[in-house]
Structure 1
Amino acid sequence: MRWKTHGERQIYTNEWVNLCLADVQQPDGQRLAYHVVRLRHLAVATVVNRRQEVLMMWRHRFITDSWAWELPMGLVEEGETPEETAAREVLEETGWRPGPIKPLIYAEPANGITDSQHHVFRADGATYAGPPTEKNESDRIEWIPLAKVRAMIDRREIVSSGSLVGLLYLLMDEAFR
């Protein structure tokens, strides 16, 4: 059952978000205006060291007024590949230069309302390059044992979709190695 789009117009736009109103027709023939949030794409990095620890950041999100652990992530810039973004974000946000980046999983976390694409990568190993250059990203940066991640998710210490998708896939991947 496919919805048909008759057109779309922007209601609001800035460098971060575009809010659009789409004229759609549902499979039953009903036609309606549907709000769509168009976002720039995101790259997420799961960096794992030899001790089976993952590089994470403890950060506050003002929108939900909550603290949680997150993987390094950021918006894909114009002219940049998602792989390049993932490597850049790890270095800027944590001060660690990741080893070779390889695709881990692709996700569209809220595709009923937004076109946001999450490109999640894995890097095995990293080299410390110095303090993070991004000063507004996190309170602390730690290597978290993979063995503790499931319990942290259960306790809602990890809640962002980009982090959850990457970590859950990483845990599944590690379980089958």
Structure 2
Amino acid sequence: MSVWQTHGERTVYENRWLQVNMADVELPDGRHLDHTVIRLRPVAVAAVVNDCDEVLLLWRHRFITGAWGWELPSGGIGADEDGAVAAARELEEETGWRPGPMKLLLAVDPMPGISTSHHRVYWSDQADYVGPPEDDFESARREWVPLSLVPDLVARGEIRSANAVAALMVLHQLRRG
């Protein structure tokens, strides 16, 4: 089995959110190339499904892609922070709902060819409304959406975020039995 070997990296840009490096990579045939590596902190994603098989989603605009879509609450995991705690924090800040115990649903690496972006999706089957969201600027609205609609929303491009597509399709399948 042949693998790519890294002979070092140099940082070309960084801020508190990310680090962009150039890696000196040797290919299996011995050739070298500079490869961009984007280093990001891990992300916690939160999903809550209620007794009616509805999931709490955010309707938001992403200026980078110029698109509106449904997403799950998410945010960076702090240094030494537990992923489930971060997911619960993000859900409450962005929706005003405090989840019950969070369980790991899945972990995904949306762009493993260029980025260390690692997303851990947690879910709960209970939540309590505690008040208006602290971070209400992050979405135009928050709604309980039937899981049965998820495949059609994905097909129509109304759910575009990779972590949301993966998590919601898994939850849809699990809840169908």
TM-score, length-normalised on structure 2?
A: 0.97
Alignment partners' CA distance in 2, 1:114 and 1:169:
23
Q: Is the 8 A contact 2:53 2:175 kept in 1?
A: no
> Could you report, residue by residue, the CA deviation over 1:2-42 in whole angstroms, capped at 9, with x for unpaired residues?
10010001100001111000000011111111010001110
Q: How far off its partner does 1:171 sit?
A: 1.6
Determine if contact 2:59/2:140 at 8 Å carries over to the other structure. Answer: yes
Residue in 2 aligned with 1:68? 69
Q: In structure 2, give the amino acid aligned to 1:169.
A: V
Distance, in Å, in 2 between the alignment partners of 1:79 and 1:118 is: 16
Distance 2:137 2:29 in 1: 48
Within the alignment, does 1:97 sit opposite 2:98 as a pair? yes
The 4+ residue runs of structure 1 with deviation greater than 4 A are: none
Partners of 2:103 and 2:136 lie apart in 1 by 27
Q: How many aligned positions are there? A: 176
Equivalent positions of 1:1-177 (< 5 A) are 1-175=2-176, 177=177
The residue identity in structure 2 corresponding to 1:102 is K
CA deviation string 1:25-78 (max 9, x = no partner): 011111111010001110111110000000000000010111000011111112
CA–CA distance in structure 2, aligned partners of residues 166 and 44 of structure 1: 9
Cα displacement (A) at 1:169? 1.4
The CA deviation at 1:79 is 2.6
For the residue of structure 1 that corresponds to 2:110, the secondary structure is coil
Contact 1:97 1:128 in 2 (8 A): yes
Consecutive unaligned residues in structure 2, runs of 5 or more: none
* Structure 1: runs of 5+ lacking an equivalent: none
Q: TM-score, normalised by structure 1?
A: 0.97
Q: Which residue identity lines up with residue 33 of structure 2 in the other structure?
A: L
Which residue identity does 1:114 align to in structure 2? S
Q: Please say if residues 49 and 125 of structure 2, whose CA atoms lie closer than 8 Å, have aligned partners that are also in contact.
A: yes
Higher deviation after alignment, 43-52 or 163-172: 163-172
Percentage of pairs with the same residue: 48
| C-alpha RMSD over aligned residues | 0.8
Q: Tell me the CA shift for residue 172 of structure 1.
A: 2.3
Q: Which residue identity lines up with residue 47 of structure 1 in the other structure?
A: V
Corresponding residue SS for 1:159: coil
1:174 offset after TM fit, Å? 2.1
Per the alignment, in what secondary structure is the counterpart of residue 60 of structure 2? Answer: strand
